Amino acid sequence: MMLFTGGTVVTMDPQIGDLERGDVLVRGDQIVAVGSELRAHPEAAGASVIDTTGRIVSPGFVDTHRHAWEAQLRRSIPDVNDLGEYVMSTLARIAPAYTPQDMYVGTRLAALTALDAGITTLLDFSHNSRTTLHSDAAIQALVDTGIRGVHASMGPHFGEWDRQWPDDLTRLHAMYDGANDGLVSLRLAALATDEIAGPALAYGRELAAVARDLGIGVSVDAVFGAPSSAAIMRWAADGLLNPDLTLIHATGLTPDAWRAMGDAGVTVSLAPTSDAQIGLETAVPAIDEALGVGIRPGLSIDVEVALARDMFTQMRALHAIQRMRAVHGAYGTDTVPHRITTRDVLDFATLQGARTNGLGDVTGSLTPGKQADLLVVNAGDVNTMPLNDAVGTLVLGADARNIETVVVAGRVRKADGRLVGVDVDTLRGEVTASRDAILKVAE
């Protein structure tokens, strides 16, 4: 039992709201109660008491799409010019050089980095599944870090591979779905069209049937432009749009495609810095389009080879871009711009992210009965003091250094500002050796 007491509690549960001074009681892997003065709660007897005075207690962030295996190459192409340059440099040249051990090292590094920055749930869009061993290594890395990991498996774009995907999903589902005390879950990963890597990786009736037979969701990447819009309309006609389907990016889509998505209740994963920095289709994160059809999206990191690795950056980028776009569109007119709020982007980064990953009933808010995935953020540090607005501080003021504690399913993964049980010197050696070996093979 753990009792977090005395802090400002941002629950992201609309029924509970925020508590200026409140408590969160955790038993095992679950949240038992959220309220004031819970020391008197019948189940609080004998609980470890964590004083969170001067701190913010919030849900952990949820990343809905990251290619975790690439982490050894983070910031290797920081000024990438377009999607084609990323595809050819990373997916065509670098990816075929990865061994299963490299998959493990990269995925573990990404997951530990996520935990350090307050991301308690990570969807790993693992599109370098060259062999069964590559997939096993990626999943094992999620298990070993203790993150709530969603392994979304897809075959690679280029190079030699065993062609075991998607058939191997049956084995992966039997072995790993629900592994690590329920922290691991599986999804099928696919591309929107056959433009980049051919028809085998493109979502359609065959892949939809695989996911349906296994009872898992589907995450579709590279959803942009006219070709993806046409694909969405085909999926709608074939009955393949549903709430278990997540469409990633969704930039430059037609109004008809958006209406079909809204009508079907699909979920959307936005990658704010990816769209803007790499310049994907319109280069504008499709937040207004999503909200316009009733879709509240999740947020994602995407590729660390070119982008920032934390959810704070994604929230701030989306908040600034949408508000700039809204005011710009209304400038010189009598129209009142519709601007999203800091609470909106925090909702996207937590509760809506969980829903996008198919885990809305499990995590994403501090709700009794849900899993105890939470953060303790110091609101008295030089960059967060004084605490005037907790949501504003989380979105606009805080960063990874202010996160003192990270809890996943009731287990402390970061304490006193440091990852628990991680030898950073050893990690650094493994990561560097893996990177050097990959680059040598890829020369």
pLDDT of residue 223: 97
Taking each helix axis from N to C end, the angle separating 132-145 and 168-176, rounded to the nearest 10 degrees, works out to 20
* Cα distance between residue 259 and residue 221, in whole Å: 19
Please report whether residue 226 resides in a domain.
Answer: yes
- Residues 109 and 45 occupy one common structural domain: no
| The two structure tokens encoding residue 59 | 């849900």
Answer yes or no: do 264 and 219 share one domain.
yes
204 falls within a domain: yes
Whether residues 260 and 374 share a domain: the answer is no
* Full-model pTM: 0.97
Please, which residues have CB within 8 angstroms of residue 372's CB and are 6 or more apart in sequence?
2, 26, 29, 30, 31, 407, 408, 409, 410
Listed residue (181, 109, 117) closest to 145, CA to CA: 109
441 in any annotated domain: no
Q: Domains in the chain: how many in total?
A: 2
Q: Do residues 226 and 325 share a domain?
A: yes
For residue 196, what pLDDT is reported?
82
pLDDT computed for residue 197 by the predictor:
78
Angstrom distance (rounded) from CA 321 to CA 276: 9
Q: Report d(CA 311, CA 61) in Å as an integer.
A: 7
Residue 440 domain-assigned? no
Query: Cα-flanking dihedrals φ and ψ of residue 352, to 5°?
Result: -70, -30
CATH number of the domain that residue 84 is part of:
3.20.20.140
Rounded Cα distance, 370 and 32, in Å: 8
Q: Using an 8 Å Cβ cutoff, are 280 and 224 in contact?
A: yes
Residue 431 lies in a domain: no
Please say which residue of 356, 381, 402 terminates a domain.
356
Which residues fall within 8 angstroms of residue 314, CB to CB, at 6 or more apart? 271, 272, 273, 299, 300, 301, 308, 349
Please choose, from the candidates 312, 269, 371, the residue with its C-alpha nearest in 3D space to the C-alpha of residue 118. Answer: 312
Mean pLDDT, the chain, rounded, equals 97
Q: Whose CA is closest to 124, among 210, 221, 231, 249?
A: 221
**3 to 368, 405, 416: CA distances (angstroms):** 13, 13, 16
Q: What are phi and psi of 157, to 5 degrees?
A: -70, -40
pLDDT score of 431: 98
Q: Are 314 and 199 contained in the same domain?
A: yes
Asked whether residue 365 is assigned to any structural domain, the reply reads no
272 and 393 within one domain: no
Phi-psi region of 313 (alpha: psi -120 to 50; beta: other; left: phi over 0): alpha
Domain end point (choices 356, 378, 396):
356
Cβ atoms of residues 365 and 351 within 8 Å:
yes
Phi-psi category of 428—alpha, beta or left, where left has phi over 0 and alpha has psi -120 to 50? alpha
pLDDT for 227 equals 96
398 and 332, same domain (yes or no): no
Record the tokens describing residue 413, joined without a space.
């993964």
Domain identity same for 36 and 67: no
CA distance 392 to 319: 11
Of 308, 334, 356, the residue at which a domain comes to its end is 356
- Name the residue with tokens 């993150």: 147
Nearest to 238 by CA among 209, 195, 198, 215: 209
CA distance 134 to 229: 32
Same domain, 394 and 295: no
**SS3 of 162, please?**
coil
Domain assignment present for 192: yes
Same domain, 51 and 74: no
Q: Which domain holds residue 299?
A: 61-356
Tell me, yes or no, whether 292 lies in a domain: yes
338 and 250 co-located in one domain: yes
Q: What is the pLDDT of residue 443?
A: 83
- Distance from the first to the final alpha carbon of the chain: 53
**Do both 166 and 296 map to the same domain?**
yes
Distance between CA 51 and CA 247 in Å, rounded? 41
User: What CATH code is carried by the domain that includes residue 378?
Assistant: 2.30.40.10
Taking 70 as the pLDDT cut, the residues of the chain under it are none
Q: What is the gyration radius of the CA atoms in the chain, in angstroms?
A: 21
